[in-house]
A = this chain, B = another copy of it.
């Protein structure tokens, strides 16, 4: 049984309030008394209970972090950023993964609210209801990496993917490519994402017509990504460059290209959004847009904890994404056919 203030007070021959003062730092305590208390505490191996304290102060000193999948390198970076900021600000972090499932996410958020965490940073799965509820319940919420439409009051910290994709598209265009495929477009009928919009705009700005068959959709899973890449590379040998919208899609493109014995970049140029560790290891190293996952996490946590009072800026914060040129893109040579 762990020792309590009461035990320490008794052992030190003081009142419990004094013990509290010593450990919470609030209120003045005489030097001699303080020593006696500390000695008694050490003797009893006393550690203040965060639970008791939280009940009284109505603050847990912890925040929640919910991401679809910690195993994803980008999300792991983001988590590391949140953890770093939380440490700097003296908070702890309760982590949970949603698997991208709105139902699971809702349950997680509900639980975190019940835990009375000081707020939660999230890469939301898609459903806005749980977040609206959490915000209504008084818990602070900040989105990271992606925001949800229809929740303008929830601050968001995102990567500037529009700029990132634009610079990548311009780079490809500058290399002479005209038939550039986008791996990871929206399925027919669904709303276009930010990356796709930026891509289309870049083409338009260069006076290049969009070939809708080069806008390939895929679900965010390995098998679907692979199927999409295989379908594209096999059916359109005239495509001279592939811009993968995610690192999963980029991985699929690299794998399929190898399977098909395509030389990169001689037969086809490949680039992707999201600069993960293997980009530098594959042969040739992959050109990519580096998204600042760690910074996004740090900033999101900071926004949650520090900027809670001041009104956030109108619209989400955007952190710059940087084009990292490696060897996977070359001048356009007309495609293979």
The residues of A with any CB-CB pair to B shorter than 8 Å are: 2, 45, 47-52, 54-55, 60, 62, 65, 69-71, 73, 76-77, 79-80, 83, 87, 92-97, 110-111, 113-116, 136-138, 251, 254-255, 258, 277-278, 280-283
Bound-state CA distance A48–B254 (Å) is: 50
The answer to whether B92 and A94 have CB atoms under 8 Å apart is yes
Q: How far is the CB of A184 from chain B (nearest CB, A)?
A: 18
Given contacts A83-B97, A282-B282, A283-B283, contact A52 B49 (CB under 8 A): no
User: CB < 8 Å: which of B60, B70, B283 contacts A70?
Assistant: B70
Chain B residue with the shortest CB-CB distance to A277: B278
Bound-state CA distance A255–B280 (Å) is: 9
Q: How far is the CB of A68 from chain B (nearest CB, A)?
A: 11
Given contacts A47-B110, A48-B114, A50-B114, contact A70 B62 (CB under 8 A): no
A47-B114, A92-B94 known; 11 other A-B pairs, CB under 8 Å? A2-B116, A47-B110, A48-B114, A51-B60, A52-B55, A65-B95, A70-B83, A71-B77, A71-B80, A92-B115, A255-B281
Given contacts A70-B70, A137-B2, A137-B47, contact A94 B93 (CB under 8 A): yes
- Name the 4 nearest CB pairs between A and B, nearest first: A278-B278, A283-B283, A95-B95, A50-B115
Bound-state CA distance A258–B280 (Å) is: 11
